Chain A
Amino acid sequence: QKEVEQNSGPLSVPEGAIASLNCTYSDRGSQSFFWYRQYSGKSPELIMFIYSNGDKEDGRFTAQLNKASQYVSLLIRDSQPSDSATYLCAVKEGGSYIPTFGRGTSLIVHP
């Protein structure tokens, strides 16, 4: 049974701070890792994906992958109130077409 674990939160950070969201996964064969942002009542929006160990940066977002420890993180720098949403982690094992989703972490950025 593949599992993707996320702390449901909420994680509350002040505006301008760094928000750190974490995700652990159980399947060592996992090869693809995705972060989705989901605003309340809306559908998930893909914001980052990473396949290799290390960091991947895109604007204010950085995804960090550590396959040996089986975790993937999302850092949001200079957090804004508009970043307040649920962040879903999704993991695909090698050769699979279907990601397994975590239940998401709720992020609240307060002014």
Chain B
Amino acid sequence: DAGVTQSPTHLIKTRGQQVTLRCSPKSGHDTVSWYQQALGQGPQFIFQYYEEEERQRGNFPDRFSGHQFPNYSSELNVNALLLGDSALYLCASSLGRSSYNEQFFGPGTRLTVL
């Protein structure tokens, strides 16, 4: 049973560049949520995709955008990178129909912006 996968593992970019992160949910899951985790902080919710639509969005600027594909995998795009975007980016998958369902995290992508 495949768990949540993310790619790449690490990424180094410079200010102003654009980045795309990828996530495949756990087998049987249809919902993907993206989080940003800065050092020493809890994960901060960016947005959630369900049925290829953005179902909910956190307090992040429009520079952060995403997409969900018919196979439930998802991408997170960040434009015009800032130094403050350096963080661990986490993807979490769940079953979307019930709000009681638990979320399972992937290994994360460590983004460094220089």
A contacts, CB < 8 Å to B: 4, 8, 31-32, 34, 36, 42-46, 49, 51, 88, 90, 92, 94-104
Interface residues on chain B, size class: 20 to 34
Choose from A8, A43, A95 the contact partner of B105 (Cβ within 8 Å): A43
Q: A32-B100, A88-B42, A103-B40 are in contact. Are A43 and B56 (CB under 8 A)?
A: no
| Contact A43–B106 (Cβ < 8 Å) | yes
CB distance from A104 to the nearest CB of B (A): 6
Q: How would residues 30 to 66 of chain B score, 1 for a CB under 8 Å from any chain A CB and 0 otherwise?
A: 0101000000111111001010000110100000000
| Contact B103–A46 (Cβ < 8 Å) | yes
- A sample of 17 cross-chain residue pairs with beta-carbon separation below 8 angstroms, ordered by A number, consists of A4-B42, A8-B40, A31-B99, A31-B100, A32-B100, A43-B88, A43-B108, A44-B90, A46-B105, A97-B31, A98-B58, A99-B103, A101-B43, A101-B44, A103-B40, A103-B41, A104-B42
Which residues does chain B contribute within 8 Å of A98, judged by CB atoms?
A: 33, 45, 48, 56, 58
| Contact B107–A94 (Cβ < 8 Å) | no
Which residues does chain A contribute within 8 Å of B99, judged by CB atoms?
A: 31-32, 92, 94-97
| Contact B90–A43 (Cβ < 8 Å) | yes
Choose from A43, A49, A94 the contact partner of B102 (Cβ within 8 Å): A49
CB distance from B70 to the nearest CB of A (A): 20
CA distance A98 to B45 in the complex (A): 8
| Contact A51–B100 (Cβ < 8 Å) | yes
Which residues does chain A contribute within 8 Å of B33, judged by CB atoms?
A: 97-98
List the B residue with the shortest CB-CB distance to A45.
B105
CB distance from A27 to the nearest CB of B (A): 14
Choose from A51, A95, A97, A103 the contact partner of B55 (Cβ within 8 Å): A97
Which residues does chain A contribute within 8 Å of B106, judged by CB atoms?
A: 43
CA distance A69 to B48 in the complex (A): 30
